């Protein structure tokens, strides 16, 4: 019996109910597996229902008791260690309850995240996109998490795990598996007037879990189905009519192509990804601001401004532009305002410990595609030159292949091309909108 049939039989056994209007297939879908409509589907129809007992996570795994008992030793920055330990155990156990599900991924070779590319290939194909830096951070975190948290724990439990089987390599593959296929249940919002800070929100996020069948669906930004969570089960529900023969698509959220490639290992055609973005590093804005400096006093003033901005911006490393304008408009507005202040204005600004903030709606409009051409000349110049500097950071290899209509490109080159073309088209539009 092939792995897919085996999996579908398992679904029946665990109480997963699949509508007869859909089928799982390897044919006619955009990726390895997908779901197709076998009949016309109306909006609001349930395509499948999966009982919570069939989900795979740290509370349903066979090793849940030991994970719960020693949870304090499994804390990490990702929050994923308990699920990953469950997957290490279940993936390599011949007796696993989820074996027919996990057997769909025989060796994870279908996962082609940039973290599995060579460093040379990442730099060559993806320089300027932000992905190489994100991958370096991931790989450092994975190594540290495995060495500091996972290895000591599995060594302590030789009856359940074995460092020779449960290696760093397998751990990294399972991280990519969780990145690409897991789901996070949204927090139930409680009526609370207090605005908890984002840090609190991040700490209280539900841990990821594996949802068999739901992870068969592929993603597009213009999706036609959505996963709903109920106390007893999870349901995939159509959000608009789906015609017979069409693929059923879920959404993984509002994802730019660089995020899709980094986290899921694929891209959408850049023209149709309405959520695509391009980043302009804040350091590029500073570099441009230093260009017009005539005197030491001016340099000192700029450095004071920059020091203050770095404190207020903290983690914000870049300004994000989407297809309709700047998505980090309040931050960009603040930085441009400070960088373009005279010595007297900056002095007054420091004495007042800031300024009366402008209306958010006004800022949003000013930094939209419609508003950008009307910005002050000094602001436009800074944005324009920073965008130009960013544009130069891409290694220009696509020019050599555009004439060949992308024929003969590897899947990695094609993915890289979608990311780069999408980002560069946003930067080119920005250059047009901000030219003097």
Tokens of 64: 């849940």
Q: Can you give the pLDDT at residue 405?
A: 53
Q: Can you give the pLDDT at residue 316?
A: 67
> Which residue is it, tokens 């419609």?
370
Q: Can you give the pLDDT at residue 356?
A: 63
Angle between helix axes 411-433 and 257-264 (nearest 10 degrees) is: 150
Convert the pLDDT of each residue in 221-279 to its tens digit. 889 999 999 999 999 999 999 999 999 999 888 899 999 999 999 999 999 899 999 99
- Long-range Cβ pairs for the range 224-229 (8 Å, 24+): 224/248, 224/249, 225/47, 225/249, 225/250, 226/250, 226/251, 227/183, 229/185, 229/186
| Cα distance between residue 58 and residue 61, in whole Å | 6
| Cβ pair 212, 1 in contact under 8 A | no
Q: Can you give the pLDDT at residue 205?
A: 82
Q: Can you give the pLDDT at residue 222?
A: 86
Instruction: Give the start-to-end residue ranges of the domains of the chain.
Output: 3-55+211-257, 71-184, 278-434
Q: What backbone phi and psi angles, to 5 degrees, belong to 170?
A: -65, -40
Q: Can you give the pLDDT at residue 43?
A: 97
Indicate whether 149 pLDDT > 50. Answer: yes
> Which residue is it, tokens 């560069």?
424
| Cα distance between residue 266 and residue 245, in whole Å | 23
Q: Can you give the pLDDT at residue 199?
A: 47
| Cα distance between residue 200 and residue 389, in whole Å | 36
**Local confidence band at 317 (pLDDT 50, 70, 90 cut-offs):** confident
Indicate whether 358 pLDDT > 70. Answer: no
Q: Can you give the pLDDT at residue 404?
A: 47
Q: Can you give the pLDDT at residue 109?
A: 75
The pTM (predicted TM-score) of the whole model is 0.86
Conformational region of residue 26, where left means phi above 0, alpha means psi within -120 to 50, and beta covers everything else = alpha
C-alpha pair distances (Å), 132 with each of 116, 122, 398: 11, 6, 18
Residue % of the chain over a pLDDT of 90: 68
| Cα distance between residue 18 and residue 8, in whole Å | 9
**Of 255-269, 304-318, 347-361, 367-381, the least confident:** 347-361
Indicate whether 81 pLDDT > 70. Answer: yes
Average pLDDT, stretch 14-37?
90
Please tell me the CATH superfamily of domain 71-184, with its number. set domain protein methyltransferase, domain 1 (3.90.1410.10)
Do 278-434 and 3-55+211-257 have the same topology in CATH? no
Q: Can you give the pLDDT at residue 217?
A: 92
| Cβ pair 216, 24 in contact under 8 A | yes
Residue with the larger pLDDT of the pair 109 and 90: 90
CATH entry 3.40.640.10 includes domain 3-55+211-257: no
Convert the pLDDT of each residue in 155-208 to its tens digit. 999 999 999 999 999 999 999 999 999 999 988 765 544 444 444 444 568 899
Q: Which architecture characterizes domain 278-434 according to CATH?
A: Alpha-Beta Complex (3.90)
């Amino acid at each position: 019996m092939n792995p897919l049939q085996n999996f579908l039989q398992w679904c029946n056994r665990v109480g997963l109910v699949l509508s007869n209007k859909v089928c799982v297939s390897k044919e006619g879908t955009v990726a390895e597996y997908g779901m197709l409509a076998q009949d016309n589907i109306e909006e609001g129809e349930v395509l499948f229902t999966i009982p919570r007992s069939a989900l795979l996570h740290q509370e349903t795994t066979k090793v849940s008791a030991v994970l719960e008992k020693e949870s304090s030793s499994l804390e990490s920055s990702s929050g994923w260690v308990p699920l990953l330990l469950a997957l290490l155990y279940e993936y390599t156990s011949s007796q696993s309850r989820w074996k027919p599900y996990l057997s769909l991924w025989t060796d994870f070779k279908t996962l082609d995240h940039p973290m599995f590319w060579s460093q040379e290939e990442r730099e060559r194909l993806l320089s300027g996109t932000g992905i190489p830096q994100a991958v370096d951070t991931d790989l450092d975190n994975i190594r540290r998490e495995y060495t500091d948290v996972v290895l000591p724990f599995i060594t302590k439990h030789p009856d359940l795990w074995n460092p020779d089987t449960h290696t760093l390599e397998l751990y990294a593959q399972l991280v990519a598996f969780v990145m690409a296929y897991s789901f996070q249940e949204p927090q139930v919002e409680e009526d609370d007037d207090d605005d908890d800070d984002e840090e609190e929100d991040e700490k209280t996020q539900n841990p990821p879990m594996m949802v068999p069948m739901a992870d068969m669906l592929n993603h597009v930004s213009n999706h036609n189905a959505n996963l709903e969570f109920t106390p007893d089960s999870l349901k995939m529900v159509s959000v608009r009519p789906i015609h017979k023969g069409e693929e059923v698509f879920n959404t993984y959220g509002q994802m730019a192509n660089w995020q899709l490639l980094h986290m899921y290992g694929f891209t959408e055609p850049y023209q149709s990804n309405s959520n695509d973005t391009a980043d302009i590093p804040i350091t590029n804005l500073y570099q441009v601001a230093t260009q017009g400096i005539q005197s030491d006093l001016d340099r000192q003033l700029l450095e004071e401004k920059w020091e203050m901005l770095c404190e207020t911006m903290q983690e914000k490393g870049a300004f994000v532009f989407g297809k309709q304008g700047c998505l980090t408009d309040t931050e960009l507005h603040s930085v441009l305002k400070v960088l373009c202040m005279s010595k007297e204005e900056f002095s007054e600004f420091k004495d007042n410990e800031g300024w009366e903030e402008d209306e958010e709606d006004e800022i949003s409009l000013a930094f939209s595609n419609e508003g950008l051409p009307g910005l002050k000349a000094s602001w436009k110049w800074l944005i324009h030159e920073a965008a130009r500097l960013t544009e130069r950071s891409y290694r220009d290899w696509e020019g050599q292949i555009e004439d060949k209509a992308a024929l003969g490109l590897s899947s990695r080159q094609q993915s890289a091309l979608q990311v780069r073309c999408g980002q560069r088209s946003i930067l080119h539009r920005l250059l047009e909108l901000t030219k003097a």
